[in-house]
Amino acid sequence: MKTIKTLIAGATLMGFSTMACAEPVPQETDTLINSLMKEHEVPGLAFVLIENGEVRQSKTYGYAKVEEGQRLNEDTVMYAASLTKLIFSVYVLQLVGEGKLDLDRPIGQYLRKPLPAYAGESILEDYSDLEGDPRWQKLTLRMLLSHTTGLPNYRFFTPEGVFKRDAKLKFFFDPNERYGYSGEGYYIAQLVVEEATGLKTGAALQTRFFDPLGMSRTSLVWRDDFQPNFAHGYNAQGENLRHNMQSNVRAAGSMDTTLHDLSRWVAALMSGKLLGEDEFNELVGAGFPIESRHQFPTLDPVPYAANRVINLAAGVGTVNWDGPQGRGFVKGGHNEKTDNLLVCLPGKKRCVLLMSNTAKGDLIFPQIFEAVLGNTGLPWTWEYATLADK
């Protein structure tokens, strides 16, 4: 059986294809990406540079399925993970711009019944654990989408990161007290938006984004037509953990997409086609100050004064900061077999999107982003706590 190590050692990792409208990736960028992937045994990587609302450079490297020797290309379906949160947040901001939602209205005003009364078949749709705790009534869509709810990332992870299937959902601090990344918050936001609009999230995103932008290989649930061109995911040890074939729409992270599709969406966002000025500013404005030293673990209470220097803050769906090139924003999508990161400099009208089917972004992403965008000032040790030890 072929392995990541043998394939990468024996291949030049030339990109499978580039988008027809894109310029060639400069030789120095190409060489850097190939070198980093070979050094760290990264199976596959998708790269795109967007400037002035257009795809400027785009290329794919390496393998979608290592064992089969199947190369990654621009139409390979990859797991977006938490990049889904950004797509959903922009959808919510569209509704805000249309006057259909208010970011700062208590969510109870949108729900048919108290949040603890929602007890679905899935554990992640059951909020009965919050019965008797009135703090849920303070929640707003802004808090849910900017990770200031006081809820954990997922209820079945303890503050120390230990998995406990029978763990109860609970507040670890008061809403709007401080930043703490929370997928649970996005599940609640999805419920609130669906209740307020009467529209299911998957169908709404299809109508607003995927169909108009020609994102034909993007969906919030797995589709059989994604076969056979999809990417497996590999952990840091190179073990094939397969692909997340999601069967339920999850605003927190169930989206499958391709480099071709997602780059179109980012280009549309940055060219002003998706949001008005006020709504776009919710992504990159002052936001809620982030004091934690690292993004993960999500409930780390230790403050980090350096964040104040760059005005690190949680926008609606993003994290943003002040850097040497002006305001920037970032959104990632990570798990044990996926690493995706979007970094944008709105003032420069430039973004880079990297998508990889392995959990090794901390080893290669900072070098690539800084080489292409220059010094952005992004606090890499906050995004990837592992870098603090290097």
Q: Looking at residue 86, what is its pLDDT? A: 98
- How far is residue 103's CA from residue 141's CA, in Å, rounded to a whole number? 5
pLDDT class of 297 with cuts at 50, 70, 90: confident
Asked, for residue 205, whether it belongs to a domain, the answer is no
Indicate if 181 and 236 belong to the same structural domain: no
Q: Looking at residue 162, what is its pLDDT? A: 80
pLDDT tops 80 at residue 327: yes
* Cα Rg of the chain (Å, integer): 20
pLDDT class of 165 with cuts at 50, 70, 90: confident
- How far is residue 84's CA from residue 213's CA, in Å, rounded to a whole number? 16
Q: What is the pLDDT of residues 173-226, one digit of tens each?
A: 999 999 999 999 999 999 999 999 999 999 999 999 999 999 999 999 999 999
Asked, for residue 206, whether it belongs to a domain, the answer is no
Q: Mean pLDDT across the chain, nearest whole number? A: 93
Indicate if 318 and 242 belong to the same structural domain: yes
Q: Looking at residue 5, what is its pLDDT? A: 43
Indicate if 112 and 230 belong to the same structural domain: no
pLDDT tops 80 at residue 21: no
Between strands 70-71 and 54-65, the pairing is antiparallel
Indicate if 165 and 238 belong to the same structural domain: no
Closest CA to 257 of 59, 58, 384, 82: 82
Indicate if 170 and 293 belong to the same structural domain: no
Indicate if 179 and 51 belong to the same structural domain: no
Lowest mean pLDDT segment, chosen from 20-29, 200-209, 229-238, 309-318: 20-29
Percent of the chain's residues with pLDDT above 90: 86
Asked, for residue 211, whether it belongs to a domain, the answer is no
DSSP state of 100: S
Lowest mean pLDDT segment, chosen from 16-20, 323-327, 357-361, 364-368: 16-20
Lowest mean pLDDT segment, chosen from 73-87, 92-106, 286-300, 327-341: 286-300
For residue 193, the enclosing domain spans: 88-197
Asked, for residue 204, whether it belongs to a domain, the answer is no
pLDDT tops 80 at residue 6: no
Indicate if 269 and 380 belong to the same structural domain: yes
Give me the mean pLDDT over the 245-270 stretch. Answer: 97
CATH number at residue 249: 3.40.710.10
Q: What is the pLDDT of residues 87-131, one digit of tens each?
A: 999 999 999 999 999 999 999 999 999 999 999 866 668 999 999
Asked, for residue 210, whether it belongs to a domain, the answer is no
Asked, for residue 203, whether it belongs to a domain, the answer is no
CB neighbours of residue 235 within 10 Å: 15
**Angle (deg, nearest 10), helices 183-197 and 83-97:** 30
Indicate if 118 and 63 belong to the same structural domain: no
CA atoms within 13 A of residue 234's CA, in its CB half-sphere: 26
Closest CA to 92 of 176, 191, 182: 191
pLDDT tops 80 at residue 16: no
Give me the mean pLDDT over the 316-327 stretch. Answer: 98
Asked, for residue 207, whether it belongs to a domain, the answer is no
Q: Looking at residue 163, what is its pLDDT? A: 84
Indicate if 26 and 173 belong to the same structural domain: no
* pTM of structure: 0.94
pLDDT class of 366 with cuts at 50, 70, 90: very high
pLDDT tops 80 at residue 360: yes
Indicate if 228 and 339 belong to the same structural domain: yes
pLDDT tops 70 at residue 17: no
Q: Looking at residue 300, what is its pLDDT? A: 81
Asked, for residue 23, whether it belongs to a domain, the answer is yes
Lowest mean pLDDT segment, chosen from 149-163, 277-291, 312-326: 149-163
Indicate if 77 and 92 belong to the same structural domain: no
Number of domains the chain contains: 2
Indicate if 349 and 330 belong to the same structural domain: yes
**pLDDT higher at 370 or 161:** 370
Q: Looking at residue 37, what is its pLDDT? A: 98
